[in-house]
Every structure is written in C-alpha cells, then in structure tokens.
Amino acid sequence: MNWLKQNWFKLVIIIIILKVTFGAFYWYEWRPSQIRKECSGELKRGGSIEARELFYKTCLSEHGLEK
C-alpha cells in the first residue's frame, strides 16, 4: 500500500499513455482495415469492374475513409 501512495502519479501516467497508444492503433490501423475488408467483401456480387470500383469507393466514403 505504501508503494501505491508513493507512485500513484506514475501509475496514472502509464495508464494514460497505454490508453492513448491503443486508441491511436484502433483508430488509424484496426478500424480502417476492418472497413476496407467489409467493403471489399461486398464486391463479390458481380457486375462490371467500373460498377464494383464505384461501389467500393462509395462504401469507403460512407464509412468516412475516402472523400
């Protein structure tokens, strides 16, 4: 208990750093890859190449990845 009283500030800083790191990983790596996977999985429906590319770009735009 004495250790916790002496080092509580360090522990809080470590927790904040871990949350920011994992939050950034989720937002910039995991989330976009899952959205791209979902959008490309829906492309297997068929149709022309142009229509599939348009659908893919529209899907990414709807999820906030492309403009």
Q: Which domain holds residue 57?
A: 25-67
pLDDT for residue 41: 81
Which of 11-15, 45-49, 53-57 is most confident? 11-15
Q: What does the mean pLDDT of the chain come to?
A: 89
Q: Which of 25, 44, 40 is nearest to 63 (CA)?
A: 40
Is pLDDT above 80 for 60? yes
Whether 20 is in a domain gets the answer no
Whether 47 is in a domain gets the answer yes
pLDDT for residue 18: 97
**What is the pTM assigned to this prediction?**
0.71
Number of domains present in the structure of the chain: 1
Is pLDDT above 80 for 67? no
